[in-house]
Structure 1
C-alpha cells in the first residue's frame, strides 16, 4: 500500500463526520474517479476514509462518543461506497474509451484512403508497422457478440502476441489484422469460433498478404469478396483463402463470356424432364466429391445407379461428360459460372 496522497486524505477528512448530503456523495465519487486516474487502488480509498473516520472519532468528546460513533459509521459506509463506485465507473469509462480508440484506429487502418500522418502516432501504441506486410482475416459470424469477440481477441493476443494480431467486431464480422507472414491465426480463430458458436454458424476468409497501408484495405476486400463468392457458390468450407478463388473474379470480369459458356454448354439441360436443376446439382456435388460416384449418391440421397443415369443423360443432352479429362474442366467451369449467374432462374 502506498502513502495516502494529501489530496485524497484531505478530501476524506472534509467529507467524513455528519450525515452525507447528495453533493457530498458526488464529491466522494469524484475522489474515486481521480484515484482511478492516478492509478491508486481501492485499498487506498478504503484506507483514506478509514483514517479520516479514526481522526473524526478521536476528536469526539467522551460524552458524545456513542452518539457520534453511529453517525461516523454511517457516513463512512455511504461515502466509501460512493467513492468506490466512482472508482469503478472511471475504470469502466476508461476501458470504453480505449476500446473506442482501438476500433477507430482499425477503421482508419482499413479505410480505402488512409492518412499515414494521422495514423503514425497511434500505430506505435498498438505495435503496428504501417509500412509492413499484413494479412486481413474476416470471420462472418452473425451470432457473435462483443463479449465473445473480446475473449477471442484476448486469446489470439495471448497465443501470437498483442503486436501481431489486432481484432475488432464490425457488423457481424470479426476482422483480424495479422502482422507479416504469421501462420496459424485462421486455424486458431476457427477453433475459438467453434468453442463460442459451434460448427456451421460461421465462415472465415483469408485475404492475401500485402505491404503498406493500401494493402490492408486490399486484403480486407479480398477476404470479404471471398465470403460473398462462397455464399453465391454454396461453398461451406469453414476456412477459405482468397488466393484459392482467384479464378472467379476473372470469370466475373467478362460476364458476356461466362454467360456464353454457361448457355452453350449447359443450355440443353433445360429440355430435360424435371428441368436443369437436378442435373446441375448432380454435377456440382460430383465435382465437390472429386468425381466419386458413391459419395455423390450419398450426399444427394439417391442410388449410385441414379447418379450414373444422370451423368449419361447430361452427356446425351450436352455432349460433355465429367468422366472425360478434356471435358471435365469445361463442365466444372460452366457449373460454377451457372451458380455465379443464378442460371437458369437468373438468366
Structure 2
C-alpha cells in the first residue's frame, strides 16, 4: 500500500521506472514535439508502462490525478486539443521504446500489451478532457461574472478611476480615449437580446477591430461601446453613425423583431463611457414617451428634451398652466393635445396635420381655435406658439394626461 492508502502498482523486476531514464526521455520528447509543459503528463507514462507489462487498469485515484492535470492545462492556457496530442504522442513514443514489447517474440503477448495500453489511454484521455472542460466552464463563469461587474461599474461611472483603468485593460478598453455608447432595445417585449448581442459584436469587431469595443446586455438591452470616429484611423465620415449600422444589422435577424437604437455622444476619459451611456438611455426613454416612430435616435437631436426635463418642477408648472385648461374640453385634453402635436410636427401646416390625424382641415382649424379659447395661447402668435410647443413636449415627457401631474414634483 502507498502512504496515502492506495494500492501500489504491481510489478516485478522488469517494471519500468523513471530511474532508468527512458520514461523521462519519452516525456521530454513528447512535450517538445507538442510544445506543451511536460509536467502535464504526471504519472501517465508509468500508468501506460504498467498496463503494457502487467495489464493493470488505473485506479480511480490515478484517473482523478489525470483529471486534475486537465484542469491545470486549462488554467495554463493549454488547449484541450494540444493536451490530448501530448498524451497521444507520449503513448506512441512509449510503445516504440517499451522494453517488454521490444524483447517479446510472442504475438499474443504483444496484442495483450497493446490492448492494455489502449484501454489506459482511453481512460486517461477521457479524464484529461473532462478535467479540462470542467476547469474551462469554471473559468468562463468567473470571466462572465467579472465582465458583468465591470460593465455595471463602467456604465454607472462612480467607481474608482485608477482601479477602473486597470480593470478595463484585460477587456481591451483604453479609458484614456474617447468612446461612444449605443443601446439597442426591442420595440416589443421578449426580444432576443442575447442573440442580438452576438450578431452586433461580430459587426462591431469587423468595423472597429477588437480593441476599445465592448458588447454586452443590460436591463433587456444590448450595450455597444465603440471608440469615437476621431480615435479610429481610417474611420468613416462623421455622417456615418454607429446607430444606423447597428439597426441595419438587427434588421437582418430572422426573428422579425423591430428594434430601436439610441446613440449617445462620444466623450473622453473614464467617465465618458458612463456619460454617453446615460445620454443613450435617456434618448430611448424620450423616444418611447414621445412615441417617436424613428428606429434610430441620437442624443444630440434630443438635447431640447433634456433641457425641458432638467427642471421637473418648472416643467410641471408649464404643462399645468398652459395645457391644464384643455381638460375642460368635452372630449378631454388628449384629442386637442394630439392635434397640437400633429400641427407642430407638420411644420405648422394645417393640411398636413389633418392628413396625419385622418380628419378634415376644418376640424384641425376648429380645434386650434378651441385651444386658443381655452388656454389663451394661439399658434398664430410666435411667443405663445413657443409656449404651446414647449408645453406639448413637456406633456409627452410627463406622460400627461394619461398620468396625472405630480402635486409635488
Post-superposition Cα deviations, 1:248-284, rounded to whole Å, max 9, x if no partner, equal: 3332344444334333433332232221211212222
Moved more, 284-293 or 326-335: 284-293
Residue 139 of structure 1 corresponds to 184
Q: CA deviation at 1:156?
A: 0.6
Q: CA deviation at 1:98?
A: 3.7
Distance in 1, Cα, partners of 2:67 & 2:342: 65
Distance in 1, Cα, partners of 2:77 & 2:326: 75
Residue 11 of structure 2 corresponds to none
Residue 87 of structure 2 corresponds to 48
Residue 333 of structure 2 corresponds to 276
Q: What secondary structure, in the 3-state scheme, does the structure 2 residue paired with 1:246 have?
A: helix
Contact 2:34 2:85 in 1 (8 A): no
Distance in 2, Cα, partners of 1:23 & 1:13: 15
Answer yes or no: is 1:245 the counterpart of 2:245. Answer: no
The Cα RMSD (Å) is: 3.4
Post-superposition Cα deviations, 1:166-200, rounded to whole Å, max 9, x if no partner, equal: 22222213223332345532222222333347676
TM-score w.r.t. structure 2 length?
A: 0.71
Residue 70 of structure 2 corresponds to 32
Residue 233 of structure 2 corresponds to none
Distance in 1, Cα, partners of 2:375 & 2:62: 87
- Structure 2 residue corresponding to 1:79, chosen from 115, 118, 124: 124
Residue 116 of structure 1 corresponds to 161
Answer yes or no: is 1:164 the counterpart of 2:164. Answer: no
Residue 270 of structure 2 corresponds to 213
Aligned length: 347
Structure 1 residues 197 and 221 mapped into 2: Cα distance closer, same or farther (>3 Å)?
A: farther
Residue 2 of structure 1 corresponds to 34
Post-superposition Cα deviations, 1:223-271, rounded to whole Å, max 9, x if no partner, equal: 2223223333223422222232222333234444433433343333223
Distance in 2, Cα, partners of 1:83 & 1:112: 43
Distance in 2, Cα, partners of 1:304 & 1:199: 37
TM-score w.r.t. structure 1 length?
A: 0.81
- Structure 1 residue corresponding to 2:250, chosen from 180, 193, 212: 193
Post-superposition Cα deviations, 1:22-72, rounded to whole Å, max 9, x if no partner, equal: 334333333333333243551551452364267469546634444454444
Residue 178 of structure 1 corresponds to 226
Residue 332 of structure 1 corresponds to 389
Contact 1:42 1:87 in 2 (8 A): no
